[in-house]
Chain A
């Protein structure tokens, strides 16, 4: 099967300092790919380069057979590529409902209402807090909102940056179970950046390990993980 996402020789960074060093990666449709690695390995930079928030210095990102070079962030969402940034980037001054509606403003089809209702069904607590402001939500509710907001746009590829950060194990398990279910039922493809190795591996079809801006290995034995995180 042709990969949904193909990354070749991707080099990117901030202000001339490269953080990603010729990264190659391919993700098959309807799979969950975990990207593991220590702090500073370049995981977040990889996701930001994929969604277009930073411009790569070299290399290319091919999504669904289309080179994304020069496609602005706003248009990548329209192609079905959704990015949930680290730290549950809920717009704190807007209500839950406004946060969700924001994600579908660009859609012109008739199913917007139905999709919004589905997200509320999926995440019960959000329906109860519809008119609450973003800053009034708990960490778990914010993650649900950030995830629901990405899903309501109907993405084919979901880029998730550290969804488990600061959440209770039970909430993490619920979110990962949901991702696995969406993969199986709707064919959603997920790139899951995680520090929490055990939970990531529990749902991932495939994992890669990053260290110092490179994908070092597609092998996630205990020895390679120890090497990636601890350096020996």
Chain B
């Protein structure tokens, strides 16, 4: 029973990262109908920036700030310099451009930082707190949950309660009508990419220390899990991405804990396949099935 509780809490902390990453994918999908395959690479680039800043200042927190700011800037640049132009050619071009960005960013990071794994420290201990002799949850996992929860609340307030949020929702649902009403849709899209990349950067900062360390391809597997989270939730639904992310995290934690960690990549794919077969639009979708 203790093991079950431990695995559940560990899975929720891990799932929170997938939820954040999936949410970032949903933000861009809703606004532009593009699956941002470059999100992992962008997030890793932000994490490298944090690595440099932390190395120079000796402070984890300055590194975190740098990662978030770097994410915002990178996201905005990608929209302004690449996606805005790629999107005019056709629906598939932004996806190809995103895949090209992955190769470019990973190659550049390898050239600058080398292709070795850099271990990264966490600001809090990763050993589990024990309650009456049972391992329960580590302080770092609590920090991860808290950080993701804070970001979700901030995004919910931004989208639900502010003028900027209203513009972003309107531009995502009805770009042409929004323009007719005076909304500068181009700027809104740039902001959307910036926010999504910053959320992705946060996910990278939270998850990389718990894995092998910093590497140009460090987010590749997280991307698969985050994408699964978003698809399970129904790509269009922010709430779905969060629920999907937590669900994927918990399932992977059980599979890893009871069957061994070798089985987890297969479990992600099985989960993705099951959802796509049973409910192609995702669990939280409003459309009945995907258009073919």
Q: A93-B169, A94-B169, A105-B163 are in contact. Are A53 and B181 (CB under 8 A)?
A: no
Q: B33 at the A/B interface (Cβ < 8 Å)?
A: no
Contact of A105 among B173, B174, B182 (CB under 8 A): B182
Nearest CB of A to B201, in Å: 28
Q: B172-210: which residues lie under 8 A (CB-CB) from chain A?
A: 173-174, 176-185
- Whether B180 pairs with A94 at a CB distance below 8 angstroms is no
Q: B96 at the A/B interface (Cβ < 8 Å)?
A: no
* Closest Cβ neighbor of A83 among chain B residues: B180
- Whether A74 pairs with B173 at a CB distance below 8 angstroms is no
Q: A101-B166, A102-B166, A105-B163 are in contact. Are A78 and B182 (CB under 8 A)?
A: yes
- Whether A91 pairs with B177 at a CB distance below 8 angstroms is yes
What is the 8 Å Cβ interface bit string for chain A, positions 70-113, against chain B (1 contact, 0 not)? 00111001100011010001011110001001110110000000
Chain A residues closer than 8 Å to B173, beta-carbon distance: 91-94
Q: B155 at the A/B interface (Cβ < 8 Å)?
A: no
Q: A11 at the A/B interface (Cβ < 8 Å)?
A: no
Q: A149 at the A/B interface (Cβ < 8 Å)?
A: yes
Nearest CB of B to A162, in Å: 15
Query: In the bound complex, what is the Cα–Cα distance between A91 and B173 (angstroms)?
Result: 7
Interface of B (DSSP majority class):
helix
Query: In the bound complex, what is the Cα–Cα distance between A171 and B174 (angstroms)?
Result: 26
What is the 8 Å Cβ interface bit string for chain B, positions 232-256, against chain A (1 contact, 0 not)? 0000000000000000000000000
Q: A143 at the A/B interface (Cβ < 8 Å)?
A: no
Q: How large is the interface on B (under 10, 10 to 19, 20 to 34, 35 or more residues)?
A: 10 to 19
Q: A172 at the A/B interface (Cβ < 8 Å)?
A: no
Query: In the bound complex, what is the Cα–Cα distance between A147 and B62 (angstroms)?
Result: 51
Query: In the bound complex, what is the Cα–Cα distance between A149 and B177 (angstroms)?
Result: 11
- Whether B183 pairs with A105 at a CB distance below 8 angstroms is yes
Chain B residues closer than 8 Å to A89, beta-carbon distance: 174, 176-177, 180
Chain A interface, number of residues (Cβ within 8 angstroms):
23
- Whether A153 pairs with B166 at a CB distance below 8 angstroms is no
Question: Which one of B166, B167, B179, B180 has the highest number of Cβ atoms from chain A below 10 Å of its Cβ?
Answer: B180
Chain B residues closer than 8 Å to A195, beta-carbon distance: none
Chain B residues closer than 8 Å to A207, beta-carbon distance: none
- Whether B179 pairs with A105 at a CB distance below 8 angstroms is no
Query: In the bound complex, what is the Cα–Cα distance between A74 and B179 (angstroms)?
Result: 5
Q: A51 at the A/B interface (Cβ < 8 Å)?
A: yes
Chain A residues closer than 8 Å to B97, beta-carbon distance: none
Query: In the bound complex, what is the Cα–Cα distance between A83 and B180 (angstroms)?
Result: 7
Chain B residues closer than 8 Å to A72, beta-carbon distance: 179
Chain A residues closer than 8 Å to B174, beta-carbon distance: 89, 91
- Whether A51 pairs with B180 at a CB distance below 8 angstroms is yes
* Closest Cβ neighbor of A101 among chain B residues: B166
Question: Which one of A72, A74, A93, A149 has the highest number of Cβ atoms from chain B below 10 Å of its Cβ?
Answer: A74
Query: In the bound complex, what is the Cα–Cα distance between A101 and B178 (angstroms)?
Result: 11
- Whether A105 pairs with B166 at a CB distance below 8 angstroms is yes
A interface residues with partner B (beta carbon < 8 Å): 51, 53, 72-74, 77-78, 82-83, 85, 89, 91-94, 98, 101-103, 105-106, 149, 153
A-B contact pairs, 26 of them (CB 8 A): A72-B179, A73-B180, A74-B179, A74-B182, A77-B181, A78-B182, A82-B180, A85-B180, A89-B177, A91-B170, A91-B174, A91-B177, A91-B178, A93-B169, A94-B169, A94-B170, A98-B166, A98-B170, A101-B166, A102-B166, A102-B181, A103-B181, A105-B166, A105-B182, A149-B181, A153-B182
B interface residues with partner A (beta carbon < 8 Å): 163, 166-167, 169-170, 173-174, 176-185
